[in-house]
Structure formats: C-alpha cells, structure tokens
A and B are shown apart, each in its own frame.
Chain A
C-alpha cells in the first residue's frame, strides 16, 4: 500500500485560538483572503423548557480544517489541466505552472481546501508543509498549536492511535473522497447535526 500522510484533529481539545491558521499564513506568506487552514466555530442550541425550568442546550466547538489530502481526491479527478497531483507520500498539491485558475477544484472540494490567489491567477492549497516534512520537521500548523490539538503522520499510525472517525459535523460523509484525517470529535458534535447547529464564523472563514 502506498504511503499516505494525514492530519489528526482533536476537536475536543481545540480552543479556537487560530494559531494554526496564523502559522500557516505566515509560513507560506499567503495573501489576504487566502487561508489554507481555517478554524470553524460550530454553534447551536439555545434554551429548552423542561417542566417549570429552562435548561440550556447551547453547544459550541471548534474545528480546524485544511486540505485532508484525500485518498480519493475529487480535486485531482476534476482538474482539467492535471495541475492537481497526488504524490507518492499521499500529499495532494497544485502545480502553479499548470493551473489555469478555473476554480473547478474549489467547487468540487467539500473541505474548502483549494483557495484562489487573485494576484497569481492560480488556485493554491495546503501542501502539508512538504518541505518541512521532507527534512524531518512538522507542518507549521501542528507545530504552532498550543493545545496539541493537531498532529500529523502516517494515516495508518494515526488510525491505530486515535481511531477511524473521518467525518464530523459539518463535514460530509467520508465515503465521497476518503479524507486522510482522523478526528477526535467534540462531545457536542453528535447532536450538532441533529439540532441544526451552524458555522458561527462563516464570514470570517
């Protein structure tokens, strides 16, 4: 089986400080509006009458998402130029010399990974800090997380350590693209979907 690197996201531990997001922008010198990693704030619930009392059902958690370097990446299959490539290490990357900036990958990706660089006229995305990883380092987002809510490594190893959860609200079922990610869902994630929770910071991300 080919090598597949991936992320582990501990949503239960994430405090939503966005250090990962900032470290990523800093490391890759990303232009305004381009965020390869984003922290989504999921919010929902309210107050529920329970007999004579009112009970709080408020829920809130953070979800740090970048490219999940899917095992079956839809961005690679839809890209008309072949600019989107999946490497031997499982990393999905974009060749800026081939990308024509048609945005088709952005329409197709359910994780919001491909982001358009207006000035360069091409799509860009997380490359799992391939240069750092090659020299034995860790991706900038993982290194920056003060709560150790992010890890990276061989997907098989991550699954052995943390289990097989690859989809958590508001992300889609893992069947479509088989994302190379493992989640430790927040305790509220299970009822977030059922109770119609929303992304609270949609304008920001």
Chain B
C-alpha cells in the first residue's frame, strides 16, 4: 500500500508549479481582439490557490515523516542527497510564491518587481520538479530509474497546472471572461501533455510488468491491470473532450470543463498510485 501522503504531496506541488508556469506564460500571450479582461484577475485567484496548495504540501511532507519534530535536519545533506535538495527548493519556491501572492494582492512593490519574483518562482518550480524526479531515479530502483519518471513528472505539472488555471478562469470571482486565445493555448497544451502521458504508458508498463512481484502475485497483477485501464480510459476520454472543445463541436463547452478536469485529476492520481504501489528495487 503506497503512502497517500506522498501521492498527495507530489501531485499538489506539481500542480502548484504548473499553475505558476502557466500564469507567467499566459502573461506573455497578447490579449485577443475581443478580450475584456487581462490575465491579472486570473492571477489573483490562481496564486491564492497555489499559496494554499504549497502550504498544504509542506504540512503533508512534514507529517508523513516518522519524526516530524526533526524535519529541519532534512536540509543537512545538500551535497549528495536529492531529498535534501528537494526540500530546499520546495522552501524557496514556496517562499517566492507566498511573497509574490501578497505583493500582487496588496499591491506591494512595483509591477516589474512583482513580475520578476513570480517568474523567478516559476523557474525555481521547474527546477523543483526536475529535482523531485531525480530523487526517485535511484540506480537500485529500476521501476523509477528511467526517462518516464522526469517526463511524467513534468507532464503532470503542466496538465495539473493547466487544469488549475482553467478552473480559476471558469470558477474564479470574475464577472468577465479571460482572453479566448489564452484558453485555447492551455487546452492545446493539455492535449499535448496528455498525449505524452499516453505515449509513456507502454514504457511504464514494460518496466512494471517485467517483475516477479507482479507476475507471481495474481492480486497485484489484477490490480495493476485495473489501474492501468482506469488511467488509460480517463486520459483518453479527457483528450476526446478537450479535442471536441477545441474544434467547437461541443454544445455548451463550459459545462464539459468540470468533468474534463475531474478526469484529469483521476488520471493523475491513479498514475501516481501506480508509480508508488508498484515500485521495486534490485536485490531483496
């Protein structure tokens, strides 16, 4: 049974990083002809959500430890431990996001300083996702030590972050609609990232099914099969809905956005569950 705290922690952090990256990317997109609102109202809603998410992730990471009171020792081995580096980057990213959120919401500092801090946080977030992936790429853990780990972590970040920004656009406290081209870009990016996740499944399955722990144990074999089917189905249906939405062939596309986001969340949770539950190392 994998640790749900680790599943939650990694997904929440990656969603927060993805959302920050999308926010900064969206800002670079020129507003469309019929735009009635600049992305900064999206920013206010999203950054508040990211701040809460990072706070929750830090609490989850502390309380999943056997000895939470000694958590600060985790920064003691930056020289060789990827886990130490992950904690440092999490604190830097989280600190940057919290400060930037306060600056945006309270109007502190100049706009250029707020933008600089937000972009620096987004870049730190990307480094954090790389370090998170690197942490699992142990030479003794074949199920994790392959290219699928960093690719899937980055894909999950962009997918979940995109979903967070889309949700902010749709359900945030805004009377007006964001630029249509921003929404289109995010939807296309979701399609591409989910496509990457589908393409990774054969690589991941190849590693997972090639182990006696799965082959010999009927229950584990059946569980892996079931989870794989749920993941593939949820990704494929989400892809179909996104594609139809982009082609304009959905009646009332806004109504389909919530089910699409739910399917994306389901796919990511199941994918991460598989990642932890079917971990194996060489040796005994």
> Contacting A78 at CB < 8 Å: which of B80, B212, B282?
B80
- A57 vs B133: C-alpha distance when bound (angstroms): 43
Contact sample, A vs B, 7 pairs, CB 8 Å cutoff:
A77-B80, A78-B138, A80-B75, A81-B77, A110-B281, A110-B283, A116-B66
B132 at the interface (CB under 8 A from A): no
> Contacting B138 at CB < 8 Å: which of A98, A108, A198?
A108
Interface size class of B (residues with CB under 8 A): 20 to 34
B186 at the interface (CB under 8 A from A): no
Interface size class of A (residues with CB under 8 A): 35 or more
Q: Is the CB of A101 within 8 A of B80?
A: no
* Interface residues of A, dominant DSSP: loop
Give residues of chain B (202-221) contacting chain A, Cβ–Cβ below 8 Å. Answer: 212, 216
Q: Is the CB of A122 within 8 A of B67?
A: yes
Q: A109-B281, A110-B282 are in contact. List 17 more A-B contacts (CB 8 A).
A: A78-B82, A78-B83, A78-B138, A79-B77, A80-B81, A80-B83, A81-B70, A98-B76, A104-B81, A104-B135, A108-B141, A109-B283, A110-B281, A111-B284, A122-B67, A123-B66, A176-B140
B65 at the interface (CB under 8 A from A): yes
A107 at the interface (CB under 8 A from B): yes
Chain A positions 173 through 199: 1 when the CB is less than 8 Å from some CB of chain B, otherwise 0: 000110000000000000000001011
* Interface residues of B, dominant DSSP: loop
- A102 vs B73: C-alpha distance when bound (angstroms): 11
Shortest distance from the beta carbon of A201 to any chain B beta carbon, whole Å: 11
Nearest 3 pairs between A and B by C-beta?
A: A101-B66, A110-B283, A121-B66
B180 at the interface (CB under 8 A from A): no
Give residues of chain B (54-105) contacting chain A, Cβ–Cβ below 8 Å. Answer: 65-68, 70-71, 73-77, 80-84, 87
Residues A172 and B140 in contact in the complex (CB < 8 Å), given A80-B76, A107-B281: yes
Q: Which residues of B contact A (CB under 8 A)?
A: 65-68, 70-71, 73-77, 80-84, 87, 135, 138-141, 212, 216, 279, 281-284
Q: Is the CB of B138 within 8 A of A107?
A: yes
Q: Which residues of A contact B (CB under 8 A)?
A: 38, 40, 65, 74, 77-83, 97-104, 107-112, 116, 118, 120-123, 170-172, 176-177, 196, 198-199, 205
Residues A104 and B83 in contact in the complex (CB < 8 Å), given A40-B284, A81-B73: yes
Q: Is the CB of A107 within 8 A of B81?
A: no
- A122 vs B70: C-alpha distance when bound (angstroms): 11
Among B73, B74, B139, B212, max chain A CB count under 10 A is at B73
